[in-house]
């Protein structure tokens, strides 16, 4: 070993690093108070590599199954109507005609359109009268 390394080693040994009895007992008491390390260790939450693949596949299969189930169920089937309530006979309720209802909803728009066309026609006649130009 070279001169410098020897000197460094020797000089380090001259540094007084005696651990006092007081410090020793303090350390022992602290260690005893910490409790067993194994009990404090948390379980690893790391999952295996195949976990993500398996969960992805499960998700895809579940989605496909849901789509298939929704397509198989016959949603056009009308709900069954009880024929009697508390012993009294009641007439069956007919299915609502959705087409009629839809036509009724467009009525106001059709009326508005007719009004606008009438306004346009009146405005056209007024302009003809003013400028006396025959279109």
Partner 1 sequence: MSDELKLVDAAKGGSVEAFTELVRGYREGLFRFLLTRCSNHADAEDALQDTLINAYRYIGSYNPQWRFSTWLYRIAIRNAGRLRSDNFAELGDPAADGGDPLAHCLAESERDNLWRSAKRILSDEVFAAMWLRYVEDMSVRDIASVLERSSSWTKVNLLRGRRALELELNGTAGNAGSEAYG
Q: Give the residues lining the site for partner 1 (CB under 8 A).
A: 3-5, 7-9, 11-12, 14-19, 23, 26-28, 30-32, 34-41
- The CA distance from 72 to 50, in Å, is 33
Q: Which CB contacts under 8 angstroms, 24+ apart, belong to 103-111?
A: none
5 or 100: CB nearest partner 1: 5
Q: How far is the CB of 6 from partner 1 (least distance, A)?
A: 9
Cβ 49 to partner 1 shortest distance, Å = 21
DSSP E strand stretches across the chain: 84-85, 88-89
Min dist. Cβ of residue 9 to partner 1 (A): 6
Our CB check for partner 1 shows the closer of 9 and 111 to be 9
Q: Which is nearer to partner 1, 39 or 105 (CB)?
A: 39
C-alpha dihedral, 64 to 69 to 75 to 81, nearest 10°? -160
CA dist., res. 44 & res. 90, Å (int): 67
Toward partner 1, which CB reaches closer, 5 or 93?
5
């Amino acid at each position: 070993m070279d001169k410098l390394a020897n000197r460094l080693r020797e000089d380090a040994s001259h540094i007084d690093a005696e651990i006092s009895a007081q410090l020793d007992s303090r350390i022992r008491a602290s260690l005893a108070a910490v409790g067993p390390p194994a009990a404090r260790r948390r379980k690893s939450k790391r999952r295996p590599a195949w976990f993500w693949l398996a969960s992805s596949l499960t998700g895809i299969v579940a989605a496909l199954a849901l789509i298939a189930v929704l397509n198989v169920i016959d949603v056009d089937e009308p709900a069954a109507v009880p024929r009697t309530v508390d012993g009294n006979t009641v007439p069956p309720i007919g299915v609502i005609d959705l087409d009629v209802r839809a036509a009724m909803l467009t009525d106001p728009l059709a009326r508005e359109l007719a009004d606008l066309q009438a306004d346009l026609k009146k405005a056209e006649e007024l302009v003809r009268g003013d400028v006396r130009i025959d279109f």
